[in-house]
Amino acid sequence: MTLAEMQFALPDLSIASAEIFLLTMACLILIADVFSRDGKGAVTYDLTLLTLAGAAVTTFAISTGEVSYTFSNMYVSDLMGDLLKFMVYISVIFVLFYSRAYVRARPEMARGEFYVLSLFATLGMMVMISASHLLTVYIGIELLSLSLYAMVAMNRSSVAATEAAMKYFVLGALASGLLLYGMSMLYGAAETLEIPMLAARLLSGEMDLDIVLFGLVFVVAGIAFKLGVVPFHMWIPDVYHGAPTAVTLFIASAPKLAAFAVAVRVLVCGLVAAYYHWQTMLIILCVASLAVGNFAAIAQTNLKRMLAYSAISHMGFMLLGMASGVFMENPDFVPGAYASAMFYVVTYVIASLAAFGTILLLSRQGFEADEISDFAGLNRRNSWYAGIMMMAMFSMAGIPFFVGFFAKFSVLVAVVTAGHLWLALVAIFFSLVGAYYYLRVVKVMYFDPPASAEPIETTPDVKLLLSVNGLAIALIGIFPNSLMQLCADSLAGSILF
Amino acid sequence: MSGLPILSLAIWVPVFSGLAVLLFTGPDRNAPAARGLALAGALAGLLVTLPLYAGFDTATPAMQFVEFMPWIRRFHINYHLGVDGISMLFVILNSFITVIVVLAGWQVIESKVAQYNACFLIMSGLLNGIFAALDGMLFYVFFEASLIPLYLIIGVWGGPRRVYAAFKFFLFTLLGSLLLLLSLIYLYLAVDGGSFAILDWHQLPLSLAEQKWIFLAFLAAFAVKVPMWPVHTWLPDAHVEAPTGGSIVLAAIALKLGAYGFVRFSLPIAPDASYAFSGLIIGLSLIAVVYIGFVALVQEDMKKLVAYSSIAHMGFVTLGFFLFSPLGVEGALVQMISHGFVAGAMFYCIGVMYDRVHSRQIADYGGVVNTMPKFAAFFLLFAMANAGLPATSGFVGEFMVIMASVQFNLCVAFAAALTMILGAAYTLWMYKRVVFGAVGNPRVAGLTDITAREFLVLALLAAAALGIGLYPQPLTDVMHSSVDELLRHISVSKIQ
């Protein structure tokens, strides 16, 4: 190797400036937290929010809409990434606001680490979203997962939380192993880990397809684990249930966006030539998730657990869109399917934030409002919060005018366009099953007498954000056009065939 | 006509009044304000629909008062409104019934008054949206969104088994409407370039197999909503458990949605399948008329009895549609309007008695005429109208449909005409047991006659029932050209 070839070109750091900013700030906050001795993490909290806002501004400022690579093509910046990162910041900010009171009431969690770990998890998601190299994907997933394992275990004295963290860690490590093993197979076949080059080599048809498919199975399993779809869903109910509600809220929101991005980057961008195979796998995962998620949710009395199973079914529904993307008959609709999946995941996160936000709102010191019966008569205690929870439930059930309906609708259009009419029938059957348990929550809130007369106290900022969250469910439902279009436009630029 | 978007007003005036009631008069200490505001909203909602009738051009079958605005561009979904001679009447009927409903709940509803009235007002707007929508998705969105307020009305203010009834109502209708959604998506993709415009679908050529599947999916949605035998079982439960206002809206408007769906979707989009399946629909309709008529006869609960009689009357409507003659379709439409007033009035009458005695069992009454003479007079009129006595609105539609079925087939006509006997039997027998005879028990003896507000409601409904019965011409004039166009359209095969 000559000297000239060894010359090291400085990568274009500006593309990743949001990540760099966030990492720097996370490290600084970690130090600042050690020196701030108020013990409640107030300074850390403020700095964390400022950091997220700063990252949002940075992402917005450097967003050009062009696809650009850096770090030797390991890192990509495009409109889809920017949009998803933006959603990640917003949802993490909402999570932090909602969890503030909950965390303060629990001394073991009320430490700076909670916020620093949130930031590292956010960084992990950003890396996942912007990955254009299989190793970058892996690093992002690990950064997110390790932060989450620690966050789940933060409430040390809680047996349930410790157990959940242990399960999450063991199963998560297994899934990471699967993913890494699959990636090594792909590397063996394609001799590259760069996603665009992988796609090009696969399309050229010079590779041994058997090895690719062997690797593909593991990669799909790894991604399915992160999304939490059947049969890789085992961790979801226990972790959602056992984790402190603030952490459950975190897990149930932003990481879904990052997992979606990984699915698009690896499967749609990287392995498009093997589309037939992964679409078939995804269809199996979808149907299994819809069935298990919806039926198991009916039997739950714990709201967090019910929402966990509902999350499984929602991710299954989202994958329906992913599984309907590429087909031979009608190329016009191709980006539409992924756009519908993206719209689905974004709107799911909005509804999920509102639902868990309401649970956090009702939780107090030493009391977790996570049984469905804790919501009894909420309408009489406070009709506004009951209304927000109702909107979240109807949105998840897919009833118009709430945004979840249009998400389901656009996925169904994609599925029918792809000619999978039977799959659409399966999907609507399970939507009907799903409607039952969401209606049950509404029933408990509206039809039953109140469980306690205690007034619901909260700070004005949480009240405002929760109201914004609830209104977003209704308003995006009435005017879904812009967000749908944004999802479609951002994906159109990112999916290169 | 002035440039006002009348249909948009008909939809959004009630919805925003409902939201205003919710926002400004939340807690129950503001109940009087909530009632007043709700009544003002309902009256405003009725007023804005009146230009629809006044400015309606009866000569054309085309859509009138059309409004068009892109809504969701990605799927070519538009905010496209318009009414013809068929749908226009239902918009006015619905807005009228909303006023009645607000008045009906005036004293009876004491908890969560603002939410109660807001539910009805919002639902009224959504129902107007269903009748005015010319875009398939817009129709669907209104169609399904209207489930939410009714679910809450039954569940929050209903009777002892309200939870069961509310779930049954919601899930039954949702099952049907999800299949409808799927066929709407199928039709969207079947049009070149994709379109959700109902009028485009009317012109869309479809093979017989496609038409049959689409017809069956529509049937699943609309048959549940009508409701037709054998998917009618949710209705008696919902009626019995719902508060009076809920029953009135359910009977007067919600049941019409299914029948309206047949006219707007099934018949013109799948005409060949409609002919192919007409035997099935006529059969189911006759079962509803005859069998459900007998079921009504043995009911002990007044609300259940009227609920079953509603199913029988709606059987007449579906029968009229599938005879494919102008007389049949117009008769069915008149029957729908008439049933809106009469069934609404019947439920109101039962509500008036229930508010005083807190029982719906026929056995708990007897001799009501002695203590409530004014009420008994009104009740008699509506009972007669329900039985189809000439000169009441109930007669006109039934007579037209029976005439059409005589033209079609004498056996069908014979079965259909049984309703004249059965309707009289179950309604009048109930009336006799409740109203006539000696005063049955102390609770009946302590009854007080209707108040001025109740008198007003009953008088309004009585005027409508008698008016249509004596002079149905204005009603049929309006629908005439639309019905002719519909029949002309479905007589042309779509198979290419």
CA B496: distance to chain centroid?
Answer: 36
What is the pLDDT averaged over residues A243-260? 91
What is the pLDDT averaged over residues B203-222? 89
Residue A54 has pLDDT above 90, yes or no: yes
The phi, psi pair for B70, rounded to 5°, reads: -65, 140
Query: From the candidates A342, A416, A420, A491, which should be mutated to test the interface with B, based on the most B CB atoms within 10 A?
Result: A416
Distance, CA of B88 to CA of B407 (rounded, Å)? 29
Contact A481 B71 (CB under 8 A): yes
Q: How far apart are the first and last CA of chain B?
A: 40
What DSSP string describes B277-341?
HHHHHHHHHHHHHHHHHHHHHT-SBHHHHHHHHHHHHHHHHHHHHTT-SHHHHHHHHHHHHHHHH
How far is A343 from chain B, CA to nearest CA, in Å? 12
ipTM: 0.89
Query: Using beta carbons and an 8 Å cutoff, which residues of B are at the interface with A?
Result: 26, 70-75, 112, 115, 137, 140-142, 144-145, 147-148, 151-152, 155-156, 162-163, 166-167, 170-171, 174-175, 178-179, 181-182, 185-186, 188-189
What is the pLDDT averaged over residues A271-297? 89
Which residue of chain B is at minimal alpha-carbon distance from A433?
B171
Query: From the candidates A408, A428, A486, which should be mutated to test the interface with B, based on the most B CB atoms within 10 A?
Result: A428
What is the pLDDT averaged over residues A287-307? 91
Distance, CA of A289 to CA of A296 (rounded, Å)? 10
Residue B1 has pLDDT above 80, yes or no: no
What is the pLDDT averaged over residues B149-162? 85
Per-residue pLDDT band at A496 (split at 50, 70, 90): low
Distance, CA of B165 to CA of B172 (rounded, Å)? 10
Which residue of chain B is at minimal alpha-carbon distance from A414?
B185
Which among B396, B424, B422, B421 is positioned nearest to B339, based on CA atoms?
A: B396
A398 in Cβ contact with A405 (< 8 Å): yes
**What is the tens place of the pLDDT at every residue in B356-413?**
888 888 888 888 888 888 888 888 888 888 888 888 888 888 888 888 888 888 888 8
Domain boundaries in chain B?
6-491
A94 in Cβ contact with A1 (< 8 Å): no
Distance, CA of A286 to CA of B132 (rounded, Å)? 37
Contact A416 B189 (CB under 8 A): yes
Which among B193, B176, B156 is positioned nearest to B234, based on CA atoms?
A: B176
CA B377: distance to chain centroid?
Answer: 25
Average pLDDT, chain A: 87
pLDDT at residue A142, rounded to an integer:
93
Residue A241 has pLDDT above 80, yes or no: yes
**What is the tens place of the pLDDT at every residue in A317-326?**
999 988 887 6
A226 in Cβ contact with A124 (< 8 Å): no
Contact A432 B171 (CB under 8 A): yes
What is the pLDDT averaged over residues B232-260? 87
Q: Percent of chain A at pLDDT above 90?
A: 43
pLDDT at residue A1, rounded to an integer:
46
pLDDT at residue A70, rounded to an integer:
82
What is the pLDDT averaged over residues A230-242? 90
What is the pLDDT averaged over residues B318-338? 89
3-state secondary structure chain A: CCHHHHCCCCCCHHHHHHHHHHHHHHHHHHHHHHHCCCCCCHHHHHHHHHHHHHHHHHHHHHCCCCCEEECCCCEEECHHHHHHHHHHHHHHHHHHHHHHHHHHCCCCCCCHHHHHHHHHHHHHHHHHHHECEHHHHHHHHHHHHHHHHHHHCCCCCCHHHHHHHHHHHHHHHHHHHHHHHHHHHHHHHHCCCEHHHHHHHHHHCCCCHHHHHHHHHHHHHHHHHHHCCCCCCCHHHHHHHHCCHHHHHHHHCHHHHHHHHHHHHHHHHHCHHHHHHHHHHHHHHHHHHHHHHHHHHHCCCEHHHHHHHHHHHHHHHHHHHHCCCCCCCCHHHHHHHHHHHHHHHHHHHHHHHHHHHHHHHHCECCECCCEHHHHCCHHHHCHHHHHHHHHHHHHHHCCCCCHHHHHHHHHHHHHHHCCCHHHHHHHHHHHHHHHHHHHHHHHHHHHCCCCCCCCCCCCHHHHHHHHHHHHHHHHHHHCCHHHHHHHHHHHHHHCCC
> Whole-model pTM?
0.91
Q: Which residues of B touch A410 (CB under 8 A)?
A: 74-75
Which residues fall within 8 angstroms of residue A134, CB to CB, at 6 or more apart? A183, A186, A187, A193, A194, A195, A198, A266, A270
Average pLDDT, chain B: 86
pLDDT at residue A197, rounded to an integer:
87
Token pair belonging to A214: 């062997």
Per-residue pLDDT band at A364 (split at 50, 70, 90): confident
Size of chain A, expressed as the number of residues it contains: 497
* Burial category of B36 from C-beta neighbours within 10 Å (exposed 0-12, middle 13-18, buried 19 and up): middle
Token pair belonging to B409: 């087939």
Per-residue pLDDT band at A12 (split at 50, 70, 90): confident
Residue A112 has pLDDT above 50, yes or no: yes
Per-residue pLDDT band at A40 (split at 50, 70, 90): low
**What is the tens place of the pLDDT at every residue in B45-94?**
888 888 888 888 888 888 888 888 888 888 888 899 988 888 888 998 89
**What is the tens place of the pLDDT at every residue in A409-455?**
999 988 888 888 899 999 999 999 999 999 999 988 888 888 777 77
Q: What is the DSSP letter of B64?
A: E
Residue A331 has pLDDT above 60, yes or no: no
Per mean pLDDT, which range of A454-458, B197-201, B229-233, B448-452 is the poorest?
Answer: A454-458
Contact B163 A447 (CB under 8 A): yes
Contact A431 B147 (CB under 8 A): no
Per-residue pLDDT band at A8 (split at 50, 70, 90): low
Per-residue pLDDT band at A44 (split at 50, 70, 90): confident
Per mean pLDDT, which range of A374-383, B253-262, B312-321 is the poorest?
Answer: A374-383
User: How many CA atoms does the CB half-sphere of A61 hold within 13 Å?
Assistant: 10
A86 in Cβ contact with A56 (< 8 Å): yes
pLDDT at residue B175, rounded to an integer:
87
pLDDT at residue A314, rounded to an integer:
93
Distance, CA of A245 to CA of A371 (rounded, Å)? 12
Contact B137 A409 (CB under 8 A): yes
Name the residue among B72, B115, B174 with its Cβ closest to that of A484. Answer: B72
What is the pLDDT averaged over residues B291-314? 89
Contact B170 A443 (CB under 8 A): no
Measured N-to-C along each axis, helices B87-104 and B452-470 cross at an angle, to the nearest 10 degrees, of 160
The phi, psi pair for A24, rounded to 5°, reads: -60, -45
Name the residue among A400, A417, A446 with its Cβ closest to that of B156. Answer: A446
**What is the tens place of the pLDDT at every residue in B111-142?**
788 888 888 899 999 999 999 999 999 999 99
pLDDT at residue B73, rounded to an integer:
84
